[in-house]
């Protein structure tokens, strides 16, 4: 296992799984400009072919996933006074990179995911949470609006009524209810969260990575596309998937009645 450190972040590389931990537990992993810059650098490492990563697992160090933007002295908006500009310069590049990442993302929500920390948690293709974790649209408590793409994601995941309620009231959403609502995929006992998330990430990392990446692009595109546009995107994606070595291997393995050995090629 190799560990790379970035400002307020730690990236552990174990086989084809990269585990990226937000590492500023004293402030519940609140997100600062340093951490955002670290995130971009860490994503460069995640995408570096030399590391051979095929799944990214994101979690938080300590008792929180992330308490959202760092509201203390090193918070982004306190530097410029223009919170909108801070989103464009600091947050959006990270969220766009995650959306485009050429591998599946698992987020392991080990504790509170508040504000833009909740937006980050929901960037997982698979979101798994500890039983004691909760989600919090904290923005209204400090007179801000939801960000990090969550007003796009939330209504699509849980419906407009629930999305509005979460944002307007800013009440805690416990992990169990988030699961009932279809916001997240799985809930585990606290001690089981990381082993379960790692097992899931390992399974995804052993999959046909290029097809999985095309799948995540299809689902990101789906809400904005018409049925016809989506049929067309499926056609183009399938053409690409059908040309991969992993697709040929999958079909060969089926015919030979054995497990496929995918290589992400
Ligand atoms: O400017 C921009 O960057 C624009 C972008 C904005 C996007 C956003 O995310 S806005 C929303 C920002 N987040 C919040 O408003 C949440 C603030 N935190 C809380 O409401 C609570 O901490 C929690 C509900 C998340 C957890 O409560 P609890 O009781 O478990 O923990 P605590 O005691 O409040 O926090 C523990 C420590 O973390 C504490 O420090 P201390 O007293 O031990 O020295 C606390 O101040 C610190 N902390 C928690 N959240 C933040 C934070 N420090 C800086 N920024 C935080 N967001």
Query: pLDDT tens for residues 167-190?
Result: 999 999 999 999 999 999 999 999
Long-range contacts of 117-120 (CB under 8 A, 24+ apart): 117/29, 117/30, 117/31, 117/64, 117/65, 117/66, 117/67, 117/68, 118/68, 118/148, 118/150, 119/95, 119/146, 119/147, 119/148, 119/149, 119/150, 119/153, 120/31, 120/58, 120/65, 120/66, 120/95, 120/148
Residue 249 and residue 242: Cα distance in Å, rounded?
Answer: 11
Which amino acid residue places its CA nearest to atom 18 of ligand 1?
A: 67
**For residues 152-160, average pLDDT:** 98
Radius of gyration of the CA atoms of the chain, in A: 19
Res. 113: pLDDT tops 80: yes
In angstroms, the CA 211 to CA 126 distance is 16
Indicate yes or no: pTM above 0.85.
yes
Given ligand 1 and candidates 30, 37, 67, which is best to mutate, with the most ligand atoms within 8 Å of its CB? 67
Q: Is the CB of 138 under 6 A from ligand 1?
A: yes
261 contacts 249 by C-beta, under 8 angstroms = yes
- Going through the chain in order, the beta strands assigned E by DSSP cover 2-6, 9-14, 17-22, 55-60, 64-66, 105-109, 112-114, 126-130, 134-136, 173-174, 186-188
Burial of 182 (0-12, 13-18, 19+ CB in 10 A): exposed
Closest approach atom of ligand 1 to CA 147? 7
Give 77's pLDDT tier (boundaries 50, 70, 90).
Answer: low
Task: Answer yes or no: are the C-beta atoms of 184 and 109 closer than 8 Å.
Answer: yes
Please say if the pLDDT value at position 92 is more than 90: yes
What pLDDT band is residue 81 in, cutting at 50, 70 and 90? confident
User: Is residue 120 within 6 Å of ligand 1 at its C-beta?
Assistant: no
Strand partners, 134: 174
Q: Is the CB of 236 under 6 A from ligand 1?
A: no
Q: Is 139 in the pocket of ligand 1 (CB under 6 A)?
A: yes
Assess whether pLDDT exceeds 90 at residue 73.
no
What 3-state class would DSSP assign to 84?
helix
Contact at 8 Å (CB) between 263 and 245? yes
């Amino acid at each position: 296992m190799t560990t790379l450190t970035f400002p307020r972040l730690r990236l552990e590389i174990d086989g084809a799984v990269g585990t990226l931990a937000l590492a500023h537990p004293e402030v519940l992993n609140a997100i600062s400009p340093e951490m955002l810059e670290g995130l971009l650098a860490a994503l460069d490492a995640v995408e570096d072919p030399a590391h051979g990563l095929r799944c990214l697992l994101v979690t938080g160090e300590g008792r929180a996933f992330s308490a959202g933007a760092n509201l203390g002295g090193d918070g982004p908006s306190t530097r410029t006074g223009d919170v909108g500009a801070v989103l464009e310069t600091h947050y959006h590049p990270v969220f766009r990179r995650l959306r485009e990442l050429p591998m599946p993302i698992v987020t392991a929500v080990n504790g509170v995911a508040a504000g833009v920390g909740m937006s980050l948690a929901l960037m997982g293709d698979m979101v798994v949470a500890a039983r004691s974790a909760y989600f919090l649209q904290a923005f209204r408590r400090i007179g801000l609006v939801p960000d990090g793409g969550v007003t796009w994601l939330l209504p699509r995941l849980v419906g407009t009524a629930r999305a509005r309620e979460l944002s307007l009231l800013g009440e805690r959403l416990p992990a169990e209810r988030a699961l009932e609502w279809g916001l997240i995929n799985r809930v585990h006992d606290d001690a089981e969260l990381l082993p379960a998330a790692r097992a899931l990430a390992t399974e995804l990392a052993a999959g046909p990575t290029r097809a999985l990446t095309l799948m995540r692009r299809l689902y990101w595109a789906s809400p904005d596309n018409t049925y016809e546009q989506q049929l067309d995107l499926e056609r183009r994606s399938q053409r690409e998937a059908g040309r991969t070595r992993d697709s040929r291997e999958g079909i060969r393995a089926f015919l030979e009645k054995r497990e496929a050995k995918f290589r992400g090629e």
